[in-house]
Amino acid sequence: MRGTPVWWYTYAPAIKTLLIQYNFTNKTVYPFITNGGWIQHTERDVLNNCRNAVVRKAINIKFDGDRLALSNKEIENWIRSLL
């Protein structure tokens, strides 16, 4: 499981450092992407930078200010879709 906030339409710099340095051979990445509604190319950037990983469908975890904009049910459905 790998998570990142969206910062300026992509993953946060600390996540970039992790993805570039890490070799994901034999690993599966389940990306969760927290954001304020402008996710843009974040999912593609994660996909392109997890070297040798299997990358599963990301979940877009949107916040309206401090409030989670999607339901627990939607998060549960994403988790179930990964099983």
Kindly list the residues in this chain that would bind ligand FMN in the complex (CB under 6 A). Answer: 5-9, 34-39, 63
Q: Find out whether 21 and 28 touch, Cβ atoms under 8 Å.
A: no
Q: Based on CB atoms, which residue is closest to ligand FMN, 23 or 48? A: 48
Residue entry with tokens 């930078």: 49
| Cβ atoms of residues 69 and 63 within 8 Å | yes
Task: List the beta bridge partners of residue 33.
Answer: 4, 60
- Which CB sits closer to ligand FMN, 11 or 49? 11
Would you say 36 or 57 has its CB closer to ligand FMN?
A: 36
- Least distance from C-beta 67 to ligand FMN, angstroms? 11
